[in-house]
Each structure stands twice: as structure tokens, then as C-alpha cells.
Amino acid sequence: MRRFWRLLPFFLPGLLLYLALFVYLTVTSFYYSLTDWDGLSPSYTVIGLDNYPRVAEDVVFRKAFGNNIKFMLAVVLAQTVISLLLALQLTKQSRLHVALRAFYFVPTILSSVSVGFIWTFVYDPTLGMLNGVLEAMGLSSWNRNWLGNPRIAIFSIAAVQAWAHIGQMVILFVAGLQSIPRELVESARLDGATRLQLFLRVTWPLLAPAAAIVVSYTTIQSFKAFDLVFTMTGGGPAYSTEILSTYIYNSAFMNYTFGRAAAASVFFLALIGLITFLQFRALRTDRISY
């Protein structure tokens, strides 16, 4: 007990911040989801769970939900696969490999708003670099209005999201790869394992904890991509890039239906928790086989 009181000052500030910035705000958000508050009036009426079916029946909410799932799948797949492939080539501690890791990490330190403005210019159908490069390569038939076409706009933003955070995932994968005992790798090679067998039987099972962190963190990032989407398209064209975070923002601060926005945010939190739980179940580290 005496040790507990000695350690209390060290974890108490973090606990208070967690209670104030997460627990309190989550409970408050759930409470407001039971009201018809417009976000401005000093008074409101408690209407129970009425906001939840209204949100579920909203066509824009369904569109945002579908867009967010497509955005998440594209980002998680691209970011995880590409960062893993890069990490497999950058595990050595040579100057070149360290320099390349730093190079890939640079986009991560940029703000999402800056990244959004940069890539909005790159995607510009008239003056943008992407269409210009394609035309210079003789691929002008591939030119697109990358952010103006409702069918591809969400995937164009997903590519930017992956580009901006791949370097961060590379560092996590490199750390996981470097923690694998060299004795296991050498033993597998002496037993005649091919590179594919070595990856599937040794590297990937031992990399599962790092992969679980990468996938879950990437998923949360993809659901929190409000600033990137808002900067590049604002949710357009025709709600084709509207995601749950922009829907919540528009409901609360543009349409002044704060109670409905709070209900959407509760659903948002539950969805992220469910998807993250399923991902950790799929990448369980207690099923490692050799």
C-alpha cells in the first residue's frame, strides 16, 4: 500500500487527463445524443433514443458510412502492404537504409491540411502534376478529374492518406522485424526453407503483434481523416467523399442538429471499437505456429 501512494503522483496526471478528455466527453456526448439540442440554445428537451433511428435512416449518413468503409479498406490494404514491403528491404542498420527510413517518414511530420493542399494541386485536372506526368509519358488517356469524379474521388484521397503515413508504419514494421531472433531465421535457412516459407512460417507469425498495431492504428487514422477530406473536397462531389467525421461536423456546426451529431458520434465510437476488436482477434498472437 505504501508503494501505491508513492507511485500515485506519477500516474495520477495521466489518469485525470484520460477521465477529463475521454471518459467525461464520451458520457457527455451520449447524454446529448438523447436530446434535441441545437448546440446554441441554453435549453433543450430530452427525447430519448429518437436520434438514433433518425441517423440510421438518413441517406447522407448511409452514404458517409459506405464511403468510410471503402476508404478504410483501401487505406489499410495499401498502407499495410506497401509499408511491410518497404520494411523488409530496410531492416539493415546501414547509413543508406537509415536515410531511406527518414526519407519515407518525412510526409508523416506534415500537417494533414498541408498534405491536403499539396495533393489538391497535384490532382488538379488542368494544372496538376499527376495529369501532366501521365501526358508526358504518353498516357494522356489515363488523365482524370481525380477529385471531381464521384467514382474515384474517395480512392484518390485514400491514396493521399496512405502516402502520408506509410513512413510511420515502416518504422513500426522495421522495429518488429529487428526484434525477431536471428537464430530462428538462420535455423530455418539451414533446414532448406525458401524465402516464401521463411516469411510465412517465421517472419509473419513473429511480426503479428506489430502488424496488429499497424492495422488497428491505420484503421483509426482512416476514420479520423476529417481534416484531409475537408481540405481536399469538403465531402463532395455529391457526397461521394463524405465520411462519418465530416457528417458529424456538418450535422453539428452546419445544420445545428447537435443531438443528432452526438448520436452519430456514439455510433462512430462503437464502430471503431468493433472493427479494432475484430482485427485484433484476426491477428491473435497466441496462435503462432512454427
Buried b (16+ CB within 10 A) or exposed e, 126-138: eebebbeebeeee
The Cα 47–Cα 267 span in angstroms is 17
Please state, in angstroms and rounded to a whole number, the distance separating the CA atoms of residues 158 and 228: 10
Q: How far apart are CA 142 and CA 138, in angstroms?
A: 9
Residues 6+ apart with CB under 8 A from 48: 34
- Dig out the grid coordinates for 186 from the structure: 538462420
Query: Where is 274: in which H helix or E strand?
Result: helix 258-282
Residues 256, 51 contacting (CB under 8 angstroms): no
How many other C-beta atoms can be found within 10 angstroms of the C-beta atom of residue 26? 13
pLDDT the model gives residue 284: 63
Please tell me the distance from the alpha carbon of residue 20 to that of residue 8, in angstroms, as a whole number: 18
SS3 state at 198: helix
**Homologous superfamily in CATH for domain 33-287:** MetI-like (1.10.3720.10)
The grid coordinates of residue 171 equal 518504422
pLDDT tens string, the chain, 290 residues long: the values are 778 788 888 888 888 999 998 899 899 999 999 999 998 898 999 999 999 999 999 999 999 999 999 999 999 999 999 999 999 998 887 888 889 988 999 999 999 999 999 999 999 999 899 999 999 999 989 999 999 999 999 999 999 999 999 999 999 999 999 888 888 888 888 888 888 888 888 888 889 888 888 988 899 889 889 999 999 999 999 999 999 999 999 999 999 999 999 999 999 989 988 988 887 787 765 544 43
DSSP per-residue letters across the chain: -HHHHHHHHHHHHHHHHHIIIIIHHHHHHHHHTTB---SS-S---B-TTTHHHHHHH-HHHHHHHHHHHHHHHHHHHHHHHHHHHHHHH--S-SHHHHHHHHHHHGGGGS-HHHHHHHHHHHT-TTT-HHHHHHHHTT-GGG---TTT-TTTHHHHHHHHHHHHHHHHHHHHHHHHHHTS-HHHHHHHHHTT--HHHHIIIIIHHHHHHHHHHHHHHHHHHHHTTHHHHHHHTTT-STTTT--HHHHHHIIIIIS--HHHHHHHHHHHHHHHHHHHHHHHHHT-GGG---
Tell me the domain boundaries of the chain.
1-25, 33-287
Three-class DSSP category at 92: coil
Grid cell locating 115: 498534405
Q: What's the confidence (pLDDT) of residue 289?
A: 42
CA distance 160 to 256: 31
Q: Which residues are 35's β-sheet partners?
A: 46
Asked if 284 and 228 count as a contact pair (C-beta separation under 8 A), the reply is: no
Contact 108, 167 (CB under 8 A): yes
